[in-house]
Each structure stands twice: as C-alpha cells, then as structure tokens.
Chains A and B, each alone.
Chain A
C-alpha cells in the first residue's frame, strides 16, 4: 500500500501522460482505468474516483484515537495528479468522500482551498455514501445520491437491481475491491477495478481506506465471475488478470 503514498509524495513530478492505463468497456461505454485509481470516460470527459475517505484520521481523533493527520493531504495529492493527467470536464466522487459526517464541516482551510482549486473550471459531483449520507458542507460541487449518465448509473453501493429507466450498466464503490495474485509461491495483494463488463467496482482512492478481497462474501453475487476481470493498480501501470486466473 505504501506505493500509493509514494505516489502522493511524487505527484508534483508525475508525468501528465496516462501511461500504463488500461482501456476497457463497461456496458458499451469506453473507459480508462488509471493506475492512480481513477476511471476516465473519454466520451464525456468524466473522471470517477471513489471512497476518498477524507479526514479519516480526524474522524478517529474525534473518538480519542489520534491517527496521523496526513491522510487527507496524501489522498488529495493523488487526486490532483490524476486530474492534471486527464483535465476532465466533470469529476464524480462516488461516495464515502469523507470518513464521517463531520468530516467536511471541520476540514482545515488549506485542504478546502486545495479542493476548490481542483474543482475550478469543471463540474464536481459528490455522490453520498454510507459514511457521509448528508453530503458535503461548504465545498464546491453538487451532492446527490445517484447519477445517471447515458447508459450507466453511478452510485455508492452496488445494487443488484437495474437502475431507473432500465439503465443496466453500473459504476459503484463502497466495497474497496482488492485482489490477490499468486505466482511462484509469492502473492501480491493490490486494490483493483473489478468489472464483468456490465458492472464496475471502483478501488478505494483514499490512502487509509484499505481493501476487501474479491473472494469476500460481501462480493458474492455482484459479478458474473466467468467474465470478471481484476484490473490491479501497479506502480505505474494496470495489471489486468481474469478472476479465474488470479491464483495462477
């Protein structure tokens, strides 16, 4: 997981070129999985990120556990880098944007400015998550529970039912998918985009967010495992491995 933090530290020197990204199709919509953890839809100029869990350290501090207060800035640095890379028209943050309800209210001013700078000149949509169901306070952008764009519905928690108006494709977060690849008795676990071609689960973007294995029972029934592919976040590229082939 440390590599995400390295990315955060190096973000100012990161090349804007999206090298090592992987082009995929979700329910007929072309998309690019970026190794920084964002999903870019070229046709609409939309960048999707999920589960930022901003101010997670502060959320714990409020309950007496003084976790390091550096997670938000690290996450925002990576976000700034991926925005610089694609210069999207729209940024969609797919829920659990803040780790708790008070997160955006108590956000330090310098971090608030950072978000405002990133949002300048583009639309910003905060999808509400289970951690932050009330939306954000005093930040640019619009808060909503769900977003429909073409043939895709964007929501925080994956829903096994079809979307409104019969929309079938879905892009969701919430579960923090990660996958374990095993080769030559070595295993490597990384966050991943997970998609069976119709539904896509976003990797958690926040540096303190953690991951849940694709084998976990919470993932059951969400994907057609025959066509499921895990797009793992590598250091500077995406590694796409079919679900059945993860263990070699």
Chain B
C-alpha cells in the first residue's frame, strides 16, 4: 500500500490545500485523476465507492477528503470542548490498521499537518483504549469488532458525534461475511450519532459494484441514492504460470510436497517471494518442509492467524524492510499490506476462486503499471486443471466474488444486545436503524420482535425465563439491560468469528508395553470436533504422515507413528474455501474439450487420455456417474464439480436414498470435484437391471423430505448451530486460557440443538441455522442449481475396475456415518460377535 504513486502528468491539483500542493511539488508528484475526482465528489457531499487495482494509490485517495478537511479545520486549541473522532478507518485486518498508521503518518509528518492518527484493535493495551475514549485521535484506524464495542458503550454518542468520514478498506471482502453484517448494523448506528457522516468504500474489482454502492448508504423505506462510483481500470496484465516440474504430480492430497524443491528453487531465483497457501495446516507443513532443505539458510518466515501477534508484527516489519527472502502465509495476508519489494507470488494449492487469485497475485510488485509475477503450484491433478481454469479467468478478468447476502439473524441478536448495553433503546427507532443497513433492508418487524424476545429470554414459546431476562422493557417502552453483568458478557462474546477449538498434535513413542511416552514434537493443530470421533488405534493423515491416534491428554492429542499407508480417517487438509461455481464450470469445460488440454502438463494430459479410453469424459453440461467393484465393495462416483460442501450434502442425501433402494451403502467421500458412495450391493448392476433409477436418485425432490430428515442428525448443521449459538449469545464463547474447568460447566450444543429441534422446531435460532446452512456449510442452494442443471443429462458407465478419474477420490476414505438404522446395525453386529464368541 503506497500512499503516493508515480505522477500522473497534467492532472489538476487545484482543489488541494497548500500543504498538499507543496508536498506533491517537493516530491515531484501530482495527484492522480481518480484521487481528485473522489475528493471533489466527497467534498460535494457524496458517499463514494472507489474500485481500483492494487497499487493505484487507493488508500491515499480514501484519506484525502479527511486530511484536507482536517487541514482546513486546523489544530484544536487546548481547553476547547471535547472533540470526538473525525474519521474512522475500518479494515478487516488488524495488521492492516498497523500498516496504514505507519504509511499515513509519513505524509502527515512531512506535510507538518496537525492531525493525530492512532489504531485500536484487540491488541491495543487497555490503558491506551481508555485514553482514546477520553482524548480521541482525529483519525482512528480499527476493525469492525472494535467499532461495535465502542458503539455499545454509554459514551458512544459523545465519541462519534463529530464523525465526518468512515473509510472502509477491502470492502469487497468484508461485505459477504457475518463481520460485514455486523459492520453494516454499526454503520446504521453511527449515522444516528453523526447524521451527516459520509462513507468512502475502497474495494478491489467485484462482480457487481452496485451491491457495494447500496451497502454504503442508508436503505430502508426511503433509500438514499447509491454511493458514487469511481472505477479505475487497467494495470498491467499479470504474468502467471503453472509450476514447471520434473516431479510426479500426485493423484490426491493438497500439500504439494512433490514441489518443495521447485518452490525452493524459485525462492532462490527471486529477491522476495510471497507464498500463499489455503490453510494453516498447509502453511505449517510447507514452512517446515522448506527449512529442511534450506541449505543456504535463506531467511524464510511464516505468517498465519494462530501465531502470536508479536511474532506476526515482527514478520511484517522484517518483510517491509526487505529482510526476508520468503514468507509462507494464509489468507491473513490476502489484503493490502505493504510488503516491500515482492517480485514473486507462489500460490500453493488451487486458488478456488478467480477473484481470490487476482487479489493474491496483486501482492507482488505493488506498482500498477508493471506486471506482477506469479506461479501456481497445484497439489494434485485436478488442481492442475483448476489452476489452468483460474489462470484463463484471470486473463479474461472474470469475477466470481459472491453477492452480498441477507443479514444473518445471530449477528442481529448480538447487535440488539449491544445496543441495549449502550443505552435503553426504543424498539421502533432501533428497527428503523437496522433496516437502513443493506443486508437487513428486508427484515420484517415480526422477525425483529422475535430477535428482541430471543435476546431477552431466549424466545421460547414456554415463557420460563422471564425472571432471568437479560434485557427488560421499561415503563416508557424502552429495552434496557437487566444488570451490568449482561454488558460484560456482551463484551466478552462480541464478534462473529467462532474459532473451532483446536488441540495440538504431539508425536510420541510407544514403549514395549504399549504405553505412550511424553515429549516428542508438535505437528500442528487439529479441530477438537474431528478428534472427538476418533478412538485409540484409528489412523489419520496429518502433517504429511499417517498417524495413529493414541489419546487426548489435557490440551494435546497424542499420536504415534504407524507403518500403515492407508489412513482410516481423512482429515480435511484441503482448501477451506469451496471451489467457486465459476471455476467449477471452467474445469468441466476444460475436461470436455481435448483442445484445451494442450496447455496442461504431459502427465495430466495422459491421465485424461486414459480416462477417455477406459470410460468417458463428461460433456460440460453432463453428469458422469461411474460404478465399479473394488475389494469387497461397490463404488459409485459422481463427477459433479460443485465444491466439497455441496458434495457432502449430496452424499448424505444419496446414501439415504440408496439405503431405501436396497443398495446397502456404507459411506461416502466428497472432494471439490466428485463424490464417491460405497456400499455392499452392486449399484452398477442395479442400474443396469432397472432396480435403481439414476434420474430418480438425483431428482430435485431430495431437497424436500430427505433433507429435512437428514438435518435432524447432521454434524454439519450442528456445527452451524454451534456458531449461531455463540454469535447470538445463547452460549458463551470459550476464551483461550479460560477453558472448561470440568465437564459440569460445559454444555454440548449438539444436545441443545436436539432438544430445541424436538420441542420447538420453529425457534428463531433454528431458523438462523437453516438460513446459514443453505448458503454456508451445506451449500444447499448450489446443490439445487446442480440438480436442475443435470436433469436428463446423466450418463452412467459401468466399469469393471476403478477409472483414472476416480483415483483421486478413492484415495480418501469416508468418515460420515450412514444415517438412520445403520447405527443400531453396527451395535447389533458388535453384540452378536460377543454371542458367537461365547457360544462358539
């Protein structure tokens, strides 16, 4: 993020105050046309959206209206009445606020402006936060959570009454998440405190700018005109290639271990390399692997969200001083931090979305007019195709950013409680304020009342908790918090990011007696919920090894080495982001068109050619189903290309239907590209003799009753529920260091979910969960689109053995249990064994 770029000759700088003109002149620069346009229109009172590629001087443009206004205001004389903040800068990343402070202070100091700039994040010491409330800076740089926290304070009105501008950085990435929902609600409240305040959104290219233009202004019954748009296009086309390797590209997996020597070679060839991975696990893995072959002792660092803040700051500082040769990073660094002179971006694993790739590549060579250089490193053969598709998309400038969704109800509940903490609220006024936020513009009064009721007493039809209400209605009809503890609870639970509890995985040795020792190295962290399903002796793949689960001791998961090469339980080491619809379509198109294979590596081309011989390659609009026997089982593979989440949902529903059809399914596996169901009956033969109809099996009606029944037991829905329960304040967030002290103080959200489902299925929190699931973890919307698309386009191939295209998914093994009666079948089998043992 350079504040000032190369000069744009001949641009008109007349609107700028003297210190600016002088400063630009001294530097031999002049402001760019889009910076001046934004300034002029903001000064005329417009809310603004600036869409520009990286390196276009976006941030300076965003701050110019504030800085010029502050220069004209001049220094506040000592002894004046309290002055609240002038400008609020909100970014999704803590690191970005620190970076912006550093970069903003440079011109401010050089111009000698009497402007104070400070940041405020979760890392800011309590004493500084306190001081900021008493003596606010002119410009406060912060995150969405901090804004909500400030708004829930009794002093909020005083603090924000002088607010002129809200600058929202990386707006495209904020608006589509629950954090964006929370922020939109906060904006509604900020407008109440400072009715004339203006918004300035800064964004990378998005699919639909009008979404953001509306998001920036009040909606509701009388929506304001959408924010003005300044759209900077151009920039040099990036130079992107797929890694050229001598090594064999694996069939499955995501860690790209095969490519480590190639990655190291590229680091050596370049001055500074930024290496992006999709998951924390991949980051850890790659970092360790690079250091084992780092014979030249190159300074290679690691940066991801679960590292300690101090450590991250150190890496960031070293990077901007050009002291590092490479940094391995997750999405924590997707966004505009000043990374010094990066001349190469390496992307490990498939990018999963064309827009995300464009963003990440923009990190290299932060100059708009020079091409950034990037190399994609696919983890397996499908990813090679996905990388190629993303690469084509980037050249085409395609965009697949998701649309701004409907505001989540759990976030709304959190906000309502926050507003009661600030001051007793009038429900009519608060409702108007809430529907002024674009994600909540369609919220009904009835739903709002249900949410208020939920916040007060849990919103149950059985009014059992009136005496414990968290907020109560006063005689004047306002809602106030019942006691100060409620406000404290709110502050502790604030935020929309629910981290899965993770345990570190430690490799230990088993002694001759089979007892496990202590010590040994930590391999990384695994979700507690994943570990809960393991029993001692289970094997799973982690940190590139097949490990044997031993036990959980305190906060650690102990594992030992095993000689097995066939892990029983796969971990989701793959991408957290599902493949976007756009890229999926591109991969299908590529698969169907041998002309497009020419650009693919030989080994991938051969793979596809053999597939074509043995089976077929589906057309772009076609769904290929393969069936074949293997071992004692029969497999059915569906090549849907709709992303892992939609496939998981489909897998759950298909196994139900197959069970009813008598195919005796045992389980399924889902990847981003395909779905494999395995069972005891020959599904190929059943399709051939007509006892199993594929068009019935894949009929859209599965999204009706089957879905409803499955939801009752779904692990994924339970996880969605858990997030909603935490965000909405139904249960308390677990804080690090304040973990459970014993079984009795924790409560299983799975059980709460079951109780609620059986006694009050229409409860508002279940409604919130279902809405989340439709777009989130279950991707039901996408599944529905697919079922509609493939109707009448299903092709079945009965094979006598596994096909080349099926190998990647066959390398994974199912972990979801078969629903329904099968559970008791497993129990009966165990009991029957005991009987035969006793009788035999």
A interface with B by C-beta (< 8 Å): 1-2, 5-6, 8-9, 56-58, 60-62, 64-71, 74, 108, 130-131, 176, 180-188, 190, 207-208, 210, 212, 215, 217, 232, 234-235, 239-242, 245-248
Contact = CB atoms under 8 A, between A and B. Distances in A.
A207 B760 CA distance: 15
Contact of A247 (B537, B731, B828): B537
Nearest to B467: A106
Contacts of B828: 234, 239
A248 B770 CA distance: 37
A60 B464 contact: no
Contacts of B830: 181, 183, 239, 241, 245-246, 248
Interface centre among B464, B489, B752 (most CB of A within 10 A): B464
Interface residues of B, number: 58
Contacts of A9: 758
A245 B834 contact: yes
B460 A68 contact: yes
B827 A2 contact: no
Interface in B807-836: 813-814, 817-818, 822-824, 826-831, 833-834
A70 B458 contact: no
Interface stretch (B421-429, B506-514, B556-564, B740-748): B740-748
A68 B827 contact: no
A55 to B, nearest CB: 10
Interface in B126-159: none
A239 B831 contact: yes
A37 to B, nearest CB: 15
Given A5-B758, A61-B458, A241 B834 contact: yes
A111 to B, nearest CB: 10
B713 A2 contact: yes
B402 to A, nearest CB: 32
Given A215-B536, A239-B831, A240-B831, A187 B817 contact: yes
A213 to B, nearest CB: 8
A64 B454 CA distance: 12
Given A67-B730, A183-B826, A212-B743, 9 more contacts: A61-B468, A65-B747, A66-B460, A69-B465, A180-B535, A185-B813, A187-B535, A235-B824, A239-B828
Interface in B725-742: 730-732
B759 interface: yes
Contacts of B460: 66, 68-70
Nearest to B821: A235
A186 B743 contact: no
A213 B755 CA distance: 22
A74 B758 contact: yes
A61 B833 CA distance: 46
B590 interface: no
A108 B460 CA distance: 15
Contacts of A245: 830, 833-834, 837
B756 A68 contact: yes
Contacts of B465: 58, 61, 66, 69
B297 interface: no
Nearest to A215: B536
A69 B462 contact: yes
A210 B753 CA distance: 13
A247 B535 contact: yes
Interface string B643-676: 0000000000000000000000011000000000
A182 B536 CA distance: 11
A192 B662 CA distance: 31
A214 B454 CA distance: 38
B814 A67 contact: no
Given A69-B458, A240-B834, A186 B747 contact: no
A176 B829 CA distance: 24
Interface centre among A66, A235, A241, A248 (most CB of B within 10 A): A66
B303 interface: no
Contact of B826 (A5, A61, A176, A186): A186
Interface in B416-468: 454, 457-460, 462, 464-465, 468
Nearest to B833: A245
17 contacts: A2-B757, A61-B465, A68-B756, A68-B760, A70-B758, A70-B760, A71-B755, A180-B535, A184-B826, A208-B755, A212-B743, A239-B827, A241-B830, A241-B831, A245-B833, A246-B830, A247-B536
Contacts of B105: none
Contacts of B457: 61, 66
Interface centre among A8, A60, A68, A215 (most CB of B within 10 A): A68
A74 B830 CA distance: 30
A60 B747 contact: yes
B755 A188 contact: no
A183 B535 CA distance: 12
B666 A186 contact: yes
A234 B828 CA distance: 9
A186 to B, nearest CB: 5
Nearest to B816: A186
A217 B536 CA distance: 13
A215 B759 contact: no
B500 interface: no
A71 B750 CA distance: 13
Contacts of A186: 666-667, 817-818, 822-823, 826
Interface string B621-652: 00000000000000000000000000000000
B759 A68 contact: yes
B43 interface: no
B827 A74 contact: no
B153 to A, nearest CB: 19
Nearest to B754: A2
A92 B732 CA distance: 34
A207 B755 contact: yes
A53 to B, nearest CB: 9
A234 B822 CA distance: 12
A190 B827 contact: yes
Q: Which 4 pairs across A and B sit closest by C-beta, in order of nearness? A: A66-B458, A69-B464, A70-B759, A239-B827
Contacts of A190: 827
A9 B758 CA distance: 8
Contacts of A239: 827-828, 830-831
B462 to A, nearest CB: 5
B755 A5 contact: yes
B610 interface: no
Nearest to B462: A69
Contacts of B758: 2, 5-6, 8-9, 70, 74
B230 interface: no
A193 B834 CA distance: 17
B121 interface: no
A151 B37 CA distance: 91
B712 interface: yes
Contacts of A1: 750-751, 754
Contacts of B233: none
B781 to A, nearest CB: 26
B834 A242 contact: yes
Interface centre among A64, A180, A210 (most CB of B within 10 A): A64
Contacts of A71: 755
B486 interface: yes
B470 A215 contact: no
B826 A68 contact: no
B136 to A, nearest CB: 31
Nearest to A245: B834
Contacts of A58: 464-465, 468
A19 to B, nearest CB: 14
Contacts of A65: 730-732, 747
A196 to B, nearest CB: 16
A108 B817 CA distance: 39
Contacts of A62: 468
A242 B759 CA distance: 36
B119 to A, nearest CB: 32
A240 B830 CA distance: 8
Given A2-B713, A208-B752, A242-B834, A70 B829 contact: no
